[in-house]
């Protein structure tokens, strides 16, 4: 028995249903795929002003530790990072230094009696301005851009 070169009704219906199914799948599926993948392409805001408190609440000339956390969304992953900074107030302005050692990122602490920031990991030392005074740190402590608005001290935090 030879097959007719003309399209049979059954083949036409099967082909039409297949085509409609493909179109419907594409119309429904593409937005769903876009919705599922969109968090992977979102970028986190790289920099933000972080308020630290009223400028007059910080003692004059004495480094004061301030801690805060930031939540970072990277795709589906959410991480909470903690930061520590030292505020050294001079009148209505302030020098704000990171508490991360510039050698291997251990946390430094201010030692009033020694008048220095001390890093316990390799005995690194920094003066009150953050300049290296001892040990292996290759550069001064990082400092932040600051602003004072309506009496509130803020720093510009740049996250990678």
- Interface residues with ligand FES (CB under 6 A)? 101, 103-104, 106, 119, 121-122, 124, 135-137
Minimum distance from residue 103 beta carbon to ligand FES (Å)? 3
Nearest to ligand FES of 94, 101 (CB atom):
101
Minimum distance from residue 102 beta carbon to ligand FES (Å)? 7
> What is d(CA 6, CA 142) in angstroms, rounded to the nearest whole number?
80
Nearest to ligand FES of 90, 139 (CB atom):
139
With a CB cutoff of 8 Å and minimum separation 6, the contacts of 94 are 55, 58, 87, 88, 146, 148, 153
**DSSP-assigned states of every residue in 5-49:** SSPPHHHHHHHHHHHHHHHHHHHHHHHHHHHHHHHHH----SEEE
* Contact present, 95 and 106 (Cβ < 8 Å): no
> What is d(CA 127, CA 138) in angstroms, rounded to the nearest whole number?
14
Nearest to ligand FES of 55, 101 (CB atom):
101
The residue of the chain with the least Cβ separation from ligand FES equals 124
Minimum distance from residue 64 beta carbon to ligand FES (Å)? 21
Minimum distance from residue 106 beta carbon to ligand FES (Å)? 4
Q: Terminus-to-terminus CA distance in the chain, angstroms?
A: 72
Nearest to ligand FES of 130, 137 (CB atom):
137
């Amino acid at each position: 028995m030879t097959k007719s070169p003309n399209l049979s009704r059954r083949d036409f219906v099967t082909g039409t249903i297949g085509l409609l199914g493909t179109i419907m799948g594409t119309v429904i599926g593409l937005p769903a795929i876009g919705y599922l993948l969109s968090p992977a392409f979102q970028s986190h805001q790289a920099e933000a002003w972080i308020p630290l408190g009223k400028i007059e609440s910080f003692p004059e000339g004495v480094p004061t530790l301030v801690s805060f956390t930031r939540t970072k969304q990277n795709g589906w992953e959410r991480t909470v990072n903690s930061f520590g900074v030292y505020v050294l107030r001079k009148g209505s302005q302030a020098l704000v230094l990171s508490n991360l050692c510039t050698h291997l990122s251990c946390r430094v602490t201010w030692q009033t009696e020694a008048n220095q920031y001390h890093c316990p990991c390799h005995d690194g030392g920094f003066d009150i301005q953050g300049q290296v005074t001892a040990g292996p740190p290759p550069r001064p402590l990082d400092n932040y851009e600051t602003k004072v608005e309506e009496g509130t001290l803020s720093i510009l935090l740049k996250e990678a």
